[in-house]
Amino acid sequence: MVRRTGRRPGNQDTRQSILHAARAVFAERGYDKASIRAIAGAAEVDPALVHHYFGTKDKLFLASMNMPIDPSKLLPEALAGPRESAGVRLVGLVLRIWDSPAGAAALAVFRSALSNEWTARLMREFVVTQVLRRAVTELSLDPAEAPIRSALTATQIAGLLFVRYVLRIEPVASMPAEALTRAVGPSVQHYLTGDLPQL
Amino acid sequence: MVRRTGRRPGNQDTRQSILHAARAVFAERGYDKASIRAIAGAAEVDPALVHHYFGTKDKLFLASMNMPIDPSKLLPEALAGPRESAGVRLVGLVLRIWDSPAGAAALAVFRSALSNEWTARLMREFVVTQVLRRAVTELSLDPAEAPIRSALTATQIAGLLFVRYVLRIEPVASMPAEALTRAVGPSVQHYLTGDLPQL
């Protein structure tokens, strides 16, 4: 054991180096092809140290994006239950998070996703691997249809967040989450489980 | 008449001052309350000069946002026709613009809308006054329902743009516009003319 007091600034630097390397590697290779080993290499530290500080690759990814929520904990609970009301529950979950104190941090991540190509890639990796892929599994969607269903779902949910929290267009900006969930939930439900046109 | 050659740099400066003042006044007061007089005052020029350079308030607004398209020309054409297929035509129009060379400029405006509160306000004014208000008029929507219908429409269309052009989530990023229009058009149609839940 090293003495903690003396090492803290160094540890903070190491942590930051790892997070910086993680952002670069996740954006460049995508989540699936980014390995803890490659990130450790880019940060010039031992892979064991990355595990020590951040645990799993999922957790490192969330930390590297300053993501205030962990979809692996939230989604299964929200999506458990009847498939035919999953759309409403998903919209309800998203609005609960964004209306909560975590919303400000989520908004910062959302804003940064638009600022450049590099942050947009991180955001795409987050949405696809952490949110949509889990939703597809929880809902047992047909693998052949899962990509289009989940991407269409993303269009409705991303736009809802954009109009309510970024543009703040009324009445969507101020209406109660319950009413908005009733209005938008059916579109999400349609994308998840409804009949899709010939594409 | 002044000699053009000698005055050009000065004119460019005046033009830029007006555009700068216009952005500030539109963002601060909103489109409806921003007057050419107030913008001229902020730019310290004669209101007649603002009219001379930019024509109408609408045109000045589009110029101040570097908006590459003019919804007053595009929307009436796209929305003319049967009400029950207006959603599909609106989605088709939006994708045609964004898939065209003007799309890159539109994307730049969209990105800037997220970068700070001030540009987000300009974007909201644009969406509400130039796009949604015109769509409501063209479609003769019930005035009591027009705000919620048009704001919900905005959620679906903004999200479609975000996922296809910013995040580039597949297959939405690469699929033909026609197929995407068939997939998303019905949701927009529902928001425009379908039965809304009790809100």
- Between CA A68 and CA A125 the distance in angstroms is 16
Q: Is residue A64 part of a domain?
A: no
Closest chain A residue to the Cα of B190, Cα to Cα:
A187
Q: Which of A179-193, B38-52, B116-130 is least confident?
A: B116-130
Q: Is residue A199 part of a domain?
A: no
A158, A171, A175 ranked by CB distance to B162: nearest: A158
Same domain as A144, residue A75: yes
Same domain as A92, residue A16: no
Same domain as B93, residue B34: no
Q: Is residue B22 part of a domain?
A: yes
Predicted confidence band at A4 (pLDDT cuts at 50, 70, 90)?
A: very low
Q: Check if the beta carbon of residue A23 is closer than 8 Å to that of residue A64.
A: yes
Residue at which a domain ends, from A35, A57, A79: A57
A147, A159, A184 ranked by CB distance to B158: nearest: A159
What is the per-residue pLDDT across B87-121, written as a single tens digit (0 to 9) for each?
999 999 999 999 998 888 888 888 877 777 888 88
The minimum CA-CA distance between A177 and chain B, rounded to whole Å, is: 10
Beta-carbon neighbour count of residue B66 at 10 Å? 13
Same domain as B141, residue B80: yes
Q: Verify whether the Cβ–Cβ distance A169 to B154 is below 8 Å.
A: yes
Q: Which residues contact B138 (CB under 8 A, 6 or more apart)?
A: B75, B76, B79, B80
Residue at which a domain ends, from B46, B64, B82: B64
Same domain as A53, residue A145: no
Answer whether A187 touches B (CB < 8 Å). Answer: yes
What is the per-residue pLDDT across A67-86, written as a single tens digit (0 to 9) for each?
888 888 889 888 899 999 99
Q: Which helix (H) or strand (E) holds B7?
A: helix B4-29
Rounded to whole angstroms, what are the CA distances from A77 to A26, A139, B36?
A: 27, 12, 54
Q: Is residue A63 part of a domain?
A: no
Same domain as A104, residue A41: no
Q: What is the mean pLDDT of residues A89-117?
A: 87
Q: Among candidates B7, B4, B42, B26, which has minimal Cα distance to B129?
A: B26
The number of domains in chain B is 2
Instruction: Tell me the chain A residues in contact with residue B114 when contact means C-beta distances shorter than 8 Å.
Output: 110-111, 113-115, 166
Query: What CATH code is carried by the domain that includes residue A167?
Result: 1.10.357.10
Burial of A48 (0-12, 13-18, 19+ CB in 10 A): exposed
| pLDDT score recorded for residue B8 | 46
Q: Which residues contact B65 (CB under 8 A, 6 or more apart)?
A: B23, B109, B122, B123, B126
Same domain as A172, residue A116: yes
More confident residue, B10 or A77: A77
- For chain A, the residue count is 199
Same domain as B41, residue B26: yes
Same domain as B75, residue B60: no
Q: Is residue B199 part of a domain?
A: no
Mean pLDDT of all residues belonging to chain B: 90
Residue at which a domain ends, from B64, B84, B109: B64
Same domain as B81, residue B58: no
Same domain as B57, residue B23: yes
Q: Verify whether the Cβ–Cβ distance B167 to A190 is below 8 Å.
A: no
Q: What tokens appear for A57 in the block?
A: 């690759």
- Between CA A82 and CA A174 the distance in angstroms is 29
Q: Is residue B128 part of a domain?
A: yes
Q: Check if the beta carbon of residue B183 is closer than 8 Å to that of residue A152.
A: yes
Host domain of residue B152: 71-193
Mean pLDDT of all residues belonging to chain A: 90
Closest chain B residue to the Cα of A160, Cα to Cα:
B155
Answer whether B64 touches A (CB < 8 Å). Answer: no
Same domain as B135, residue B41: no
